[in-house]
Structure 1
């Protein structure tokens, strides 16, 4: 297991918590909690060691594009890139996020 921490400059605080997905084989869970300020924090626990740069690239693109400010917890259990994209798209849907 590897625990990763990331921070991204953002400017659109969420108003309510969000919980998407489950911790299970090939899946992941995303929990977002409201956070004040202009920085999103991400705590990620993954069973796949050595992918820190990949996660930073994926998360960096997402938070650059969507600017959501929150404390984010991700529990990854071997999710594929498609599942990661699906879960983050579900977060946007639950938040009613429109660009």
Structure 2
């Protein structure tokens, strides 16, 4: 297991906490907790050792296409593909924007 922590400037506010995905299915679980600081802190726990560069590239590309929300994103990864990772990140941010 590897633990990766990344920090990015963020500008978007989200309404609520949110959860997307299921880690036990060989997938990825993403949990988002909003806050008021202008940063997005990403904490990744992954079964794939040596994957920091892959995760940095996922978020670099994501940030080119989307404004990042202010908060903490916790990811529990069980060898999800980059496409699944992007999908779950999009889902959790969307859910946090519309949760009541």
TM bin (shorter chain):
0.7 to 0.9
Unaligned segments of structure 1, at least 5 residues: none
Normalising to structure 1: TM-score of the pair?
A: 0.86
The RMSD of aligned alpha carbons is 1.7
Structure 2 match to 1:69? 70
- Greater helix content: 2
Partner of 2:29: 29
The residue that corresponds to 2:4 in the other structure is 4
| Structure 2: runs of 5 or more not aligned | none
Which protein is richer in strand relative to its size?
1
Deviates more, 1:36-45 or 1:17-26: 17-26
Asked if the contact 1:26–1:78 (Cα under 8 Å) also holds between the matched residues in 2, the reply is yes
Q: Residue 90 of structure 2 aligns with which residue?
A: 89
What is the TM-score when the length of structure 2 is the normalising length? 0.85
In the alignment of these two chains, the number of paired residues is 97
Deviates more, 1:21-30 or 1:61-70: 61-70
